[in-house]
Amino acid sequence: MKIRAVVRGVGHYLPERIVKNAEFEATLDTTDDWIRARTGIEQRHFAAEGETTSQLAIKAAQAALIDAGMTADQIDAIVVATSTPDLTFPSVATMVQAGLGSTNGFAYDIQAVCAGFVFALTNANGLIVSGQAERVLVIGAETFSRIMDWEDRGTCVLFGDGAGALILEAANGSGTNKDRGVLSTDLHSDGRYRELLYVDGGVSSNGKAGQLRMQGNAVFKHAVQKLAETAHTALGKIGMSGEDVNWIVPHQANLRIISATAERMQVPLERVVVTVQDHGNTSAASIPLALSVGKQRGQIKTGDIVVTEAIGGGLAWGAVVLRW
């Protein structure tokens, strides 16, 4: 017998404001066609003035609790992946805990930028497998619109705001790949590549929030190689390959990266959950958002083998294999 962390519910939330590509044409040297051709993005959501990351996270968490048929007081731990917290401290996770009306358990944030949800999911799995928690609420939530340079057409058209949540619960398994739940994880980071993707501000550097800076071509090359490798590694740990995968649910950075990674994994695009056209790149929120949308669409079903993979600033990257 082996303890597995099984998905019990998912949910997401998107801010009301929808920003189409054409909106950028008034202020930038760009067009709807240019953005679509280079990224696959058609629109994204931006948080309203005063709407915070924790507020998005709370609404996604509430949706996940409803989907799981659970109440907040049944949750032992809350792990939030975000790079855009409301405040330097306390954590967004504790704000979510308060917003849900929960006073038991513990809550904390994880920061691995766009790879944040994969790191948080791996961490939550560890909490359950080790017996530290029975039920863990894992959230990815971001308001990247707050750190955009609106004069940089290479970055500001890519990102959006949103939140996604997933609930894991301990369950007894056989210890084989037929078990439901998290089956394998694989994490990496390499700080030598800091300059490829970063924000030029921080508490101990200049006391400012800063703006996002990215070397797009270099990030693309690293992303395609590293995402395929980490997914293959995670699958290889349990004797699986791309042929065994029902769905890839990747970080929704842009369609070219998603397509190239799937090709390297020898998985057809028809078996990839794609939401980037509607949400843009929502950083740590993109995978749980896509999982929730994929379930709503009827794509992801109980028993499916799902691979999630992501890469973000650091660089940090990784993959999780689970049976839904």
| Separation between Cα atoms, residue 47 and residue 145, nearest integer Å | 7
Partners of 308 in the beta sheet? 249, 320
Bond prior to 90 in cis (omega within 30° of 0): yes
Q: Which two tokens stand for residue 58?
A: 């709370």
Q: Is 156 one of the catalytic residues?
A: no
Whether 194 and 245 have beta carbons less than 8 Å apart is answered as: no
**List 123, 251, 254, 279, catalytic entry:** 251
Between helices 286-297 and 53-68, what is the axis angle to 10°?
Answer: 40
| Separation between Cα atoms, residue 220 and residue 44, nearest integer Å | 20
Note the maximum CA span of the chain: 61
Q: Which two tokens stand for residue 181?
A: 């739940």
191 to each of 115, 150, 195, 204, 301, how far by Cα in Å?
14, 27, 9, 18, 37
Q: Is 222 one of the catalytic residues?
A: no
**List 21, 114, 232, 279, catalytic entry:** 114
DSSP 129-187: HTTS-SEEEEEEEEEGGGG--TT-TTTTTTB-EEEEEEEEEEEEE-SSTTSSEEEEEEE
Q: Is 114 one of the catalytic residues?
A: yes
Look at phi and psi of residue 59 and say left if phi exceeds 0, alpha if psi is from -120 to 50, else beta: alpha
**List 21, 125, 254, 281, catalytic entry:** 281
Residue 261, φ and ψ in degrees, nearest 5: -65, -45
Task: Show Cβ contacts of residue 121 under 8 Å, excluding neighbours closer than 6 positions.
Answer: 138, 166, 168, 182, 185, 308, 320
Residue type at position 80: V
Q: Which residues are catalytically annotated? A: 114, 251, 281
